[in-house]
Amino acid sequence: MIQGAALTLALCSPLAAGIVQRDRTATDDLALSGLFHDLVPGSSGYVTRAALAALPVVKLHQRVKPELPVADLIVLPLAELLKAVPLSPGADGLVLKGADGWESYLPLEFVRTYHPYLLLYYDGRPPAGGWPKIYGKKPLAPFFSDISPALGPPLESELEYGYNDANQIVEIRAAVTRDRYAPFFSSKLAHLSVTASEGRKVFLANCNNCHQGPGEVGGNVSHRPFSLLSALAASNPDYFSNFVRKPTAFDPTTVMPAYGEMSKVDLQGLMAFLREAREAGVE
């Protein structure tokens, strides 16, 4: 049970099995898929918000995002979800899938260390009662996940698999890290230059939440296939690098964040990875 600045609610402890349903009963049921112990391989299950709220949840009084006001939050630590719906043997990570195509990947070690949470109620309201939007346009609902200083330590470095927070979550998929990212290290990508190998790390840490990589692994907010990104990096590197640094200068409507502070070394590595992947015939 998490202690400290967070206040754990005294709620009844559910049985380890039985909260996952075969069919969706409401539009904001959370879908579970992949390597969860309670699921038949290849199937999906659903958990209601009420069932999630019956697990050991936590009350927080904080901002969800810097631009939003302080609010009373009821959140479920993902570690508590995994106690109720455990992973199958070998599974060691969670894919948080957003309705807009966003994907965050949380290794099990990250879950244990930083205690990321799933937002269930905002100022006592479910999403149907009205949740705020990020930047005035991106919904938090039906579920939002992040870390909190009340639950765990602050992040001290860039994450290997990109941003941990996710909004518009509709599904959590349990996976094996090695298998999920195998296409990034396939035989075609086994002999990258040192620069391109570093660029692969840059892509995973900065791009893969929104842009699918080799084997269509990752998010797909942009709907720009990996083959297009690699073609741009190879044929028009100046345009590619300028777009990465200030995307709104080329597309005022884009939701892509600016990477104006990305180092020249990282940007060169990123483009080298994309070029060499293209030369190897990776799509």
pLDDT digits (tens, 9 = 90+) for 92-151: 999 999 999 999 999 999 999 999 999 999 999 999 999 999 877 889 999 999 999 999
pLDDT at 256: 87
Sign of the Cα pseudo-torsion (50, 55, 61, 67, in order): negative
Domains of the chain, with CATH numbers?
7-179 (no CATH), 182-279 (2.60.40.420)
pLDDT greater than 70 at residue 7: no
pLDDT for position 67: 92
Provide the percentage of residues in the chain whose pLDDT is more than 70. Answer: 94
Q: In 3-state terms, what secondary structure has residue 170?
A: strand
User: Using 50, 70 and 90 to split pLDDT, how confident is the model at 38?
Assistant: confident
Q: How far apart are the first and last CA of the chain?
A: 45
